[in-house]
Amino acid sequence: MTRPPSRAYRAPCEFYDRLGEDVTNELVEWFNSVDATYRSDLREVNEHNFARFEAKLEQRLAELKSDLVKWMFAFWAPTALAVVALLFRR
């Protein structure tokens, strides 16, 4: 008996004994092509979802940054005015 070809998926020796080398190799090639197709589809979906996630993250960070600047101004402006008022009061 010859060894099965080196592939991503290899059938057990029982397949080669029962089905023969040609049929088993064809079955292995079919499984490998289906696996490659699904892997490429999954990779595309993952890349698309990551791009959407990254865009949402950038948008939320920009909103957070603008909110942070507003709050910083809201807290620091009265503090600065109070310090200036205390300096001129003397």
What is the average pLDDT score of the chain? 87
Residue 41 pLDDT class (50, 70, 90 cuts): very high
At residue 3, the pLDDT reads 52
Of the candidates 23, 1, 22, which has an alpha carbon nearest to the alpha carbon of residue 13? Answer: 1
- Pair 31, 9: CB distance under 8 Å: yes
Q: Which residues does 16 contact at the CB level (< 8 Å), separation at least 6?
A: 1, 4, 24
The percent of residues in the chain predicted with pLDDT above 90, rounded, is 63
Count other C-beta atoms under 10 Å from residue 16's C-beta: 20
Residue 89 pLDDT class (50, 70, 90 cuts): confident
